[in-house]
Structure 1
Amino acid sequence: MKLVNHYIISLLTLVGSVTQVAGQQQKPNVVLIYVDDLGYGDLGSYGATKLNTPNLDALASEGIRFTNGHATAATCTPSRYSLMTGNYPFRQTGTGILPGDAKLIIPQDKITLPKVFKDAGYQTAVIGKWHLGLGDQVDKDWNGSIKPGPLEVGYDYSFIFPATADRVPTVFLENHHVLGVNKADPIMVSYNKKVGSEPTGKENPELLKMKNSLNHGHDNTIVNGIGRIGWMSGGKEAKWVDEELTLTFADKAIRFIQDHYQKPFFLTYNATEPHVPRMPATMFKGKSGLGYRGDAILQLDYTVGQLVKTLKDNKVYENTIIIFSSDNGPVLDDGYDDGAVSQLNGHNPFGPYSGGKYSAFEAGTRVPFIISWPKMIKKGTTSDALVCQVDLLSSFASFLNVKYPKGEAVDSENTWRSFMGKDLVGRSYLIKASGTLSVLKDNYKYIKAGKGAKRNSLVNIELGNDEVDQLYDLRTDKGEKINIAKNNPEKVNELKAILEKEMNK
């Protein structure tokens, strides 16, 4: 009898284990493809006719395409901060565009998007651009262990570059260490003064293979024939080559999928395109007819196709959620003479909206937003629901039954039903921080009065600032040309009250 009981107990234990494993396998993989400076009108699925983006258009046709999807800010660091923390960027100081030597701005003791997945048993990785700071101070030894960083805020593996491609240090960082460090050629970085004897764009413009076009600070240390922001010396073997950046990141992402597809994984792929300096691989140069910016978008589209192919080859595509969006809207000439303006050829990256990167107007934060999950989302869905990247944290936490303390991720709302195409309304309102603050509700847009410049003359973008309150009806005025605040005081007061409430939360 004891042997029989032991056999039954063992069998029940085995069945329970198999059920648990099967349950784990039912969790969808999640791939977040977060791109840099891509505009609402840059994809064929969003109206582009001069650019061919078949892989991204296929992703949209196989899932849900949002027409009212947003980043929280019109520049990269604050948007990425919101994505990671579930908080609007104005809730923490130091969330503006960071230099390449900044310290980590993501709290280590609070919930983050990757921690949601890690707590749910996922394997987590980030590959590509970071730009959220590293270490616990500005001065750091780039030749040793650099932490805290991605591993301390929820990722199991990271392969990144520290800031942006136009800022030093131009190196790869795998987990806590820079690749290719040589003690005989130590890396030094400064954003205050020149270090070492490397040539600079200001002193040696004849060495540049891509000329600077604006006073953006791209005249410091030259790397790979391109002037950067900030100064760097040493690390000759560690410096990456711009034309190889995307191919390197894509290879790492593909390998991660191949090595981890048997268990649920969360992969953040932070693409560099089409941020400056735009220096695509040779196979894409000249292919778009729209200068290097267009070529970079073709490169991005190709990379997305390779990631999708890898998921399909490993038979996990059907149960993988792919989220595609951009950290902010587009900019053409952002400091380098790369043909973005002279070879625009009728392409309109801004779609029907005004502004762009740096702007409070809609083109600054309304961006492509696509979610694909073949197993669950109806193909070819278009949604006007108001959704935001800040809501990914709460939505996935709800879906995966992950709890986090009250008072954390306070701005992240559970919009899971909208993400799945079941709710076509979404958020009731959204606060956006792009220089000045704005509120979007029921297709009305309120922009708080401020004294900032009305136009960024360097990049030729309207910033949306004005000394009076602004109100626009986006149903009839997508370009935000007619300020109706004066004739609609009740609506202005309603949206202003929402903003004040959120500011005092």
Structure 2
Amino acid sequence: MHRTLLATLVLFLVGLHSYARAEVPKPNVVFMFADDLGYGDLGCYGHPYAKTPALDRLAAEGTRFTQHYVTGVTCNPSRTGVMTGLFPARFAQYAADYGFGDRVTITELLKRQGYKPGHFGKWHIGPEDADGTYGIDVVQTIGKSRNSATGRDTDLYSAAIDFIRENKDGPFYVNVWGHATHFPVNTSPELVNVFSDVSVDRADFPPTMQHKFDESLQISEQLDESMRQYLGDVYQIDRNVGRLLTVIDELELRENTIVVFSSDHGPAPVALGKKGVRKYSQNMLGSPGPFRGGKHSQYEGGTRVPFIIRWPGKTPPGRVNSTSVCSFVDWLPTLAAIAGVNDLPEQLDGEDISDIWLGVERQRERPLFWKTSSTGSTPAIRDGKWKLHLPSRKRGEPELYDLSVDSSETDNVAADYPEAVKELSAKISTWVATLPAEYTKTKDKQD
């Protein structure tokens, strides 16, 4: 009799546990990616003039990271790391032209877990963008909006909002990849006029911005107008983010939706182009914050980006994580862990940082590497407090920076810490030895 009761109790508890597990829905994921937005371009990241109330509120309701990195310093390499969990230099064929080959993407993994993936806006991750590519059910590579007065990203955000409404019963995963603040910044008067009272005081900005002001003034003496143009483009991003967040609330999806906002790399320079072809725009006044460099650069200004995540009841609200070093190479393994994916790819460069998202402050286990997809390009590594840039084969010396005291990378301490240079160089050499010997790219593109 006792055995029968015990067996019945065990079966009841097992069933209760299974029921409880079944009742916990997988979280929706909304990933909003700006294009060329600088670390210092949002109010919550210290811009003196920006109006970003929706993103500032998102940061107040979630966690804001100050040591979050991208995997590449131009558009496709950055997106490659997001989608595959691999450093982009691992791909022998440029993914923008050839796709990811047999590498499994985060959208494919989530699709297998019952997610409905969607993608809206900028693509730049392969030659095919039809529905079903990379397991994405709905792909709409929407360009700039038809009505410029509302901002160039409005149409793609509207399409993403429609997708969320249609799939509100979830779970869904959606990329909302905008075009602002990519070159060229030609913002409508309706948005520029919001900043009609802005008058640039160069003392309001860190030293890292002063050369951009000088370059802008060489093209046009209207520095205030150039700044207003850029601020208006950032403002339209914020307005669209606000629209999307409002819909999530209206659909009562807030509690079970992970919302992330970030940028694909640092801000573009005032002078764009290469191989003798230059494009100039005095309006490219994106701020890298206190960091050196920007787009095309492996210095902190090119690799460190804003990262805001909100997941009510999970990510600590109003928190700033300034100690944990995180990267978009971690995106795939982290979301896979949250969604209960068990069949991860054998090779991954990223690590599961879901505990960091949930409030733990710890150091990452693996170093971060950057290298463009060229056999002769110079690599860089972030490991602990150190950032090492190796010189080119023809000239230069190693550059070592202690980011714990010199995040702007102004004081090269390589001569003072030769053992650190030796150790980090060995790690780079070991990593580079695993990369392709040759790279293929069909076109020379400016992204």
TM above 0.5: yes
> Larger helix proportion, structure 1 or 2?
2
For residue 280 of structure 1, report the CA deviation from its aligned partner: 3.8
Residue 438 of structure 2 corresponds to residue 500 of structure 1: no
**Structure 2 CA distance for aligned equivalents of residues 65 and 424 of structure 1:** 15
**Distance 1:426-1:24 versus aligned 2 partners, 3 A rule:** farther
Deviates more, 1:59-68 or 1:109-118: 109-118
SS at match of 2:255: coil
CA deviation map 1:25-76 (0-9, x unaligned): 6211110111111111111111111112111111111111111000011111
**Structure 1 CA distance for aligned equivalents of residues 239 and 189 of structure 2:** 13
Match of 2:249 in 1: 312
**Structure 2 CA distance for aligned equivalents of residues 150 and 357 of structure 1:** 30
For residue 133 of structure 1, report the CA deviation from its aligned partner: 2.6
Structure 2 spans left out of the alignment, 5+ residues: 1-11, 199-226, 273-278, 435-447
Match of 2:48 in 1: 49
For residue 438 of structure 1, report the CA deviation from its aligned partner: 0.6
Residue 132 of structure 2 corresponds to residue 151 of structure 1: yes
Match of 2:191 in 1: 284
Alignment-mate amino acid for residue 191 of structure 2:
F
CA deviation map 1:61-101 (0-9, x unaligned): 111111100001111110101111111011013438x5xxx
**Distance 1:330-1:150 versus aligned 2 partners, 3 A rule:** farther
Structure 1 spans left out of the alignment, 5+ residues: 1-11, 136-146, 173-239, 453-465
8 A Cα contact 2:192 2:231, kept in partner = no
CA deviation map 1:136-180 (0-9, x unaligned): xxxxxxxxxxx6x5622121101114xxx6xxxx8x9xxxxxxxx
**Structure 1 CA distance for aligned equivalents of residues 280 and 425 of structure 2:** 41
8 A Cα contact 2:152 2:180, kept in partner = no
SS at match of 1:26: coil
8 A Cα contact 1:74 1:433, kept in partner = no
Match of 1:69 in 2: 68
Match of 1:359 in 2: 297
Match of 1:220 in 2: none
SS at match of 1:436: coil
**Distance 1:396-1:479 versus aligned 2 partners, 3 A rule:** same
**Structure 2 CA distance for aligned equivalents of residues 246 and 407 of structure 1:** 37
CA deviation map 1:451-490 (0-9, x unaligned): 58xxxxxxxxxxxxx6211101112222212211122111
SS at match of 1:449: coil
For residue 333 of structure 1, report the CA deviation from its aligned partner: 2.1
**Structure 1 CA distance for aligned equivalents of residues 188 and 116 of structure 2:** 30
**Structure 2 CA distance for aligned equivalents of residues 498 and 63 of structure 1:** 35
SS at match of 2:163: helix
Match of 1:340 in 2: 283
**Distance 1:363-1:24 versus aligned 2 partners, 3 A rule:** farther
**Structure 2 CA distance for aligned equivalents of residues 440 and 150 of structure 1:** 37
Alignment of 1:182-261 (within 5 A): 245-261=152-168
CA deviation map 1:399-431 (0-9, x unaligned): 2221335434x2121111112222332344211
8 A Cα contact 1:116 1:396, kept in partner = no
Residue 426 of structure 2 corresponds to residue 483 of structure 1: no
**Distance 1:357-1:373 versus aligned 2 partners, 3 A rule:** same
Alignment of 1:119-198 (within 5 A): 119-135=112-128, 149=130, 151-161=132-142
8 A Cα contact 2:39 2:287, kept in partner = yes
**Structure 1 CA distance for aligned equivalents of residues 357 and 423 of structure 2:** 27
8 A Cα contact 2:183 2:268, kept in partner = no
For residue 110 of structure 1, report the CA deviation from its aligned partner: 2.9
8 A Cα contact 1:386 1:427, kept in partner = no
Aligned residues: 378
CA deviation map 1:336-375 (0-9, x unaligned): 665426xx6xxx7111110011111100010001111012
**Structure 1 CA distance for aligned equivalents of residues 294 and 100 of structure 2:** 26
**Structure 1 CA distance for aligned equivalents of residues 139 and 62 of structure 2:** 28
Residue 42 of structure 2 corresponds to residue 105 of structure 1: no
CA deviation map 1:289-325 (0-9, x unaligned): 4232211100001111111000001000121101111
SS at match of 2:405: coil
Match of 2:331 in 1: 392
**Distance 1:469-1:76 versus aligned 2 partners, 3 A rule:** same
SS at match of 2:132: helix
Match of 1:199 in 2: none
**Structure 2 CA distance for aligned equivalents of residues 86 and 494 of structure 1:** 25
Match of 1:6 in 2: none
**Structure 1 CA distance for aligned equivalents of residues 231 and 426 of structure 2:** 42
Alignment-mate amino acid for residue 184 of structure 2:
P
8 A Cα contact 1:322 1:372, kept in partner = yes
Alignment-mate amino acid for residue 136 of structure 2:
Y
Q: CA RMSD in A?
A: 2.6
Residue 397 of structure 2 corresponds to residue 468 of structure 1: yes
Residue 82 of structure 2 corresponds to residue 83 of structure 1: yes
Alignment-mate amino acid for residue 116 of structure 2:
Q
Using structure 1 for the length normalisation, give the TM-score.
0.70
Using structure 2 for the length normalisation, give the TM-score.
0.78
**Distance 1:351-1:150 versus aligned 2 partners, 3 A rule:** farther
Percent identity between matched residues is: 31
Alignment-mate amino acid for residue 401 of structure 2:
Y
8 A Cα contact 2:33 2:176, kept in partner = yes
**Distance 1:264-1:339 versus aligned 2 partners, 3 A rule:** same
8 A Cα contact 1:387 1:427, kept in partner = no
**Structure 1 CA distance for aligned equivalents of residues 413 and 187 of structure 2:** 44
Alignment-mate amino acid for residue 383 of structure 2:
K
For residue 24 of structure 1, report the CA deviation from its aligned partner: 6.2
SS at match of 1:368: strand
